[in-house]
Amino acid sequence: MIAGAGLDRYHRLRRRVHIILDGGAQDRMTRIVHRVLIGLVALSVLSVVLESVPEYDRRFSGLFLSIESLAVAVFTLEYALRLWSAPDHTPYSDRSPLGARLAFIASGSALIDLATVLPFYLFYFFAADLRVLLLLRLLRFFKLARYSAGIRTLVAVMEAERKALLATGILLFGAVLFSASAIHLAEHDAQPEQFGSIPAAMWWAVVTITTVGYGDVTPVTLAGRVIASITMITGYVMLGLPVGIVATAFAEEIHRREFVVTWGMVASVPLFRTLDAPAIAEIMRYLSAQSLPAGALIVRRGDIAQSMYFIAEGEVEIELPAGSVRLGVGQFFGEMAILHQTPRTANVRAAQPTKLLILDAYDLQMLIVRNPRMGEAIREVAASRSDLAPEKQHGDMIEAELQEPEPPQEPVA
């Protein structure tokens, strides 16, 4: 029994370490750890950059070494903890503890983590010049990808579009090869040093296709200039392909995630929970976004309620007579304004920079008029729940709206 309790505590601790390091929960400890790691990454990268300046290296060599030692100690501990908690990582959950740890060691992020601390140990064990391993130390910059949702999304998009990107890479190489071959034939007699072979001409082709145009190698014959003109135009067309692929896929991924989040917020409202997928999707079309700074007044006490609000980002504070209530991402308020134009009974302010999705009562009424079935479903829900009935003492800020939303229904494909 005692051994079982100890094993249970061990697994709970390992799970907690995994959640903190991988951001599975946005509690205070997770935020603190992530901010410390981000700050240390930035400090160590700045130290490496400043260390390359001879004057700073002479004056602050001791400080740079202290920062490097601290960074290596913290990053080594982080690597060890990630390795220890690897069995709790979802992609490795179906493996044995040893198999999960081996899979973690072979992962790209773990290889970057190892490369960021390896130079320091090589410096001590092999008496190497630490500056020779500068690039490995600068790999710490890529650790920031763990703590940036945007970078992770971009990496995921590039991985998903790898076949299309590979195809454009092959086309670019083909364009370079063809241009180099053509300019070699046209210019090899006039400029044998620059265009005497296809490999030598490829430098000109790369510079021209990328429109960098260093000007160190230029064609002098008429045929060479015609080939150069075609190569430059081809470069404009070819370089736009990978940019367009990544930009389009990134925009679609962001839109998809925002759609899922917005769907969850709308479907969690008691008034809309019985609606089917087409009805919820139609409501979502009428949502408008509004970004507010911290402290901005969203709702004023005494005003006639005409809209309801979904919190997409940030946090709001509702000043009720019994005390203040804070609502966060995924929650909503002002639901009664959809059916009853009651006076606002509380001020609502943005507690931090906040993004709201707003649904006006007029828009929903127009939807109900055009879709009677939707109106019937909403009225049935309102009639079946006494906590959604208009109450003079509460106005539209009723207690039911200040509760945690229930799990939303999944969209129907």
Residues 279, 245, single domain; the answer is no
Query: Does residue 246 sit in the same domain as residue 290?
Result: no
d(CA 339, CA 365): 8
Order of strands across the sheet that contains 297-299: 297-299, 347-350, 316-320, 323-327
Question: Regarding beta strands 354-360 and 323-327, do their DSSP bridges make them parallel or antiparallel, or are they unpaired?
Answer: unpaired
Assess whether 7 and 138 both reside in one domain: yes
When divided into structural domains, the chain yields a total of 3
For residue 80, give the CATH number of its domain. Answer: 1.20.120.350
Alpha-carbon span 66 to 81, nearest angstrom:
23
* Structural domain contains residue 129: yes
Domain boundary residue among 99, 115, 147? 147
62 in a structural domain: yes
pLDDT for the residue numbered 181: 93
* Confidence (pLDDT) at 411: 46
Nearest Cα neighbor of 14 from 102, 101, 110, 112 is: 101
The answer to the question of residue 156 being in a domain is: no
pLDDT for 189 equals 86
The residue out of 227, 255, 283 marking a domain boundary is 255
Of 124, 147, 170, the domain-final residue: 147
Q: Tell me whether residue 263 is in a domain.
A: no
- Assess if residue 70 is contained within a domain: yes
- Asked if 395 and 305 touch (Cβ cutoff 8 Å), the reply is yes
pLDDT for the residue 131: 56
Is 152 inside a domain boundary? Answer: no
Q: Do the beta carbons of residue 303 and residue 343 sit within 8 Å?
A: yes
- Give the model's pLDDT for residue 178: 93
pLDDT, residue 386, reads 44
218 in a structural domain: yes
Residue 294 counted as domain residue:
yes
What was the pLDDT predicted at 132? Answer: 57
Radius of gyration of the chain (CA): 30
pLDDT of res. 311: 85
Asked if residue 300 and residue 391 are part of one domain, the reply reads yes
Q: What is the CATH number of the domain that holds 354?
A: 2.60.120.10
Q: For residue 337, what pLDDT is reported?
A: 61
The reported pTM is 0.57
Its domain, for residue 222, covers 162-255
Q: What is the pLDDT along the chain (413 residues), one digit of tens a residue?
A: 456 666 778 888 888 888 888 755 566 788 888 888 889 888 988 988 888 888 888 888 889 889 888 988 999 999 999 999 888 887 777 788 888 889 888 888 888 888 888 877 777 676 655 555 666 777 788 787 777 767 777 878 888 888 888 998 899 999 999 999 999 999 988 888 888 899 989 999 999 888 887 878 888 899 989 999 999 998 888 888 888 888 888 888 777 777 777 777 777 776 676 777 887 888 888 888 888 888 888 888 877 778 888 888 888 888 877 778 888 877 777 766 666 667 777 788 898 888 888 888 788 778 777 777 777 776 666 565 444 344 433 345 444 344 444 444 444 43
Residues 56 and 109 in one domain: yes
What CATH number does residue 191 fall under? 1.10.287.70
